[in-house]
Amino acid sequence: MMSAHLSIDEVAKRTGLTAYTLRYYERIGLLAPVARAAGGQRRYAASDMAWLEFLLRLRTTHMPIGKMQAFAQLRSAGDGTVAERRQLLEVHLHDVLAEVEAMQQAAAVLQEKIDHYRTLEQGPASTPHSNHKVTP
């Protein structure tokens, strides 16, 4: 269970982001200004953590930071932007799925090459000695 509010160091440990990155995200508008303790230290609430987890998911999908900022601005503008946020995510999902497909095709080519090399490693029984082609 998460305590009511976390320090920047605690959030950094939980998210894998550095304190510098957390301050940067706040400065560029990815994070709304974080509440402060009496001494001025940032105090992250559960809602801040949930939003950060979503930002990390977007980052995992290689969403450019500019698109993340646009999404964050729409989010902070309220429920009137729901359709725009959905559209932004739909476009990004299309891009992600295209990238996944490209990676699957690349993986298939790699597997074919690995299988080819395994066949060559099996030696003369599977390939004639007279065939000394250089294999990429």
CATH code of the domain containing 44: 1.10.1660.10
Q: Is the pLDDT of residue 136 over 90?
A: no
Calculate mean pLDDT across residues 7-27. Answer: 95
Q: Which domain holds residue 43?
A: 1-60
50 in any annotated domain: yes
pTM: 0.77
75 in any annotated domain: no
Percentage of residues in the chain having pLDDT higher than 90:
82
Q: How many domains does the chain have?
A: 1
- DSSP assignment, residue 48? H
Q: What is the 3-state secondary structure (H, E, C) of 13-27?
A: HHHCCCHHHHHHHHH
CA–CA separation, 12 and 65 (whole Å): 19
CA–CA separation, 127 and 15 (whole Å): 52
Listed residue (49, 82, 54) closest to 68, CA to CA: 54
Under 8 Å between Cβ of 116 and 135: yes
Q: Is the pLDDT of residue 99 over 50?
A: yes
Q: Is the pLDDT of residue 78 over 90?
A: yes
